[in-house]
Amino acid sequence: MSKIIAMAGKGGVGKTTVSALVTRYFSKHENCPLLAIDADPNSNLGETLGLEIEKTVGDIRENFMKDPQGVPSGMDKILYLEMLMNQVLIEHSTFDLLVMGRQEGQGCYCMVNNILNRFTEELEANYKYLLVDNEAGMEHLSRRSSGKVDILLMVTDYALRGLRAVGRINEMLGDLKLTVKQKGLIVNRAPETLSKAFLDEVERIGVPIVCTIPDDNNLLEFDMEQRSLLELDNDSPAVVAVDQMMEKVRPLID
């Protein structure tokens, strides 16, 4: 059974960057097959990893709904959709990536979603680790039939607004019917010393800080140059912080 690491946080706090750095961590370790799932409709995890995204799971769903009779003659609908899903899976030398893409439009998607979800769960069984980069509402996780997350890493920047968004995400977990074994808070673009007001809010929310990531100019340079974060040096401050976090986190979920 895959160990599931899920990311959550409001837009703009660096959640996808952190997801890319976690992917980088696993890519540097042998015998750690990883499937990264970009479940944010504003999909850009592939971009931060230097991968070109041509089609998404959302594209498959929408195209099928527009023309449900477009299945090749003699082919079962389930086999056809699974064939298309294999085509959108991006295989890298050290991990694979599945991009969920756009949300559902109008109409009943039950049948096609059931097929796509079943395929995704069968696919996940081939990996030791599953990393899910979620949107703030965590809609993808709420639709998972397994309903299990080994560790939920909630990302905020150094601002009370982002931190309070984490608090709301934490409060909604019960409504999502998820079993979350471990939770941790990541503070991105953090100063050396966190203020008392910030720490008081962390205590109120009740999610422990597992990582503080300092400002790292390398991230901005790589973004401007459209370079993959997989190419960051090992001594880059953000890499060091995330690698140290993962060394602590892995024993908790393995």
pLDDT at 74: 82
Domain spanning 3-253: CATH 3.40.50.300:
yes
pLDDT at 140: 63
Using one digit for the tens of pLDDT, what is the confidence trace for 32-74?
A: 789 999 988 777 899 999 999 988 888 888 888 788 778 888 8
137-148 burial: b if 16+ Cβ within 10 Å, else e: ebbbbeebeeee
223 token code pair: 């973004």
Residue owning tokens 């952190």: 18
Residue 38, beta-bridge partner list: 99, 133
Using one digit for the tens of pLDDT, what is the confidence trace for 150-206?
A: 999 999 999 999 999 999 999 888 787 788 999 999 999 999 999 999 999 999 999
- The enclosing H or E element of 92 equals none
Of the chain, the percentage scoring pLDDT greater than 70 comes to 89
CA dihedral 240→241→243→246, nearest 10 degrees, is 170
Mean pLDDT of the chain: 88
DSSP string, 26-85: HHTSTT--EEEEE--SS--HHHHTT------HHHHHHHHHH-TT-SPTT--HHHHHHHHH
141 pLDDT band, cuts 50/70/90, is: low
2 pLDDT band, cuts 50/70/90, is: confident
pLDDT at 77: 84
119 pLDDT band, cuts 50/70/90, is: confident
Taking the C-alpha atoms of residue 213 and residue 217, their distance in angstroms, rounded to an integer, is: 12
pLDDT over 70 (residue 137) = no
Using one digit for the tens of pLDDT, what is the confidence trace for 190-201?
A: 999 999 999 999
| Burial status of residue 236 (CB atoms within 10 A of its CB: 0-12, 13-18, 19 or more) | buried
pLDDT at 117: 74
pLDDT at 107: 53
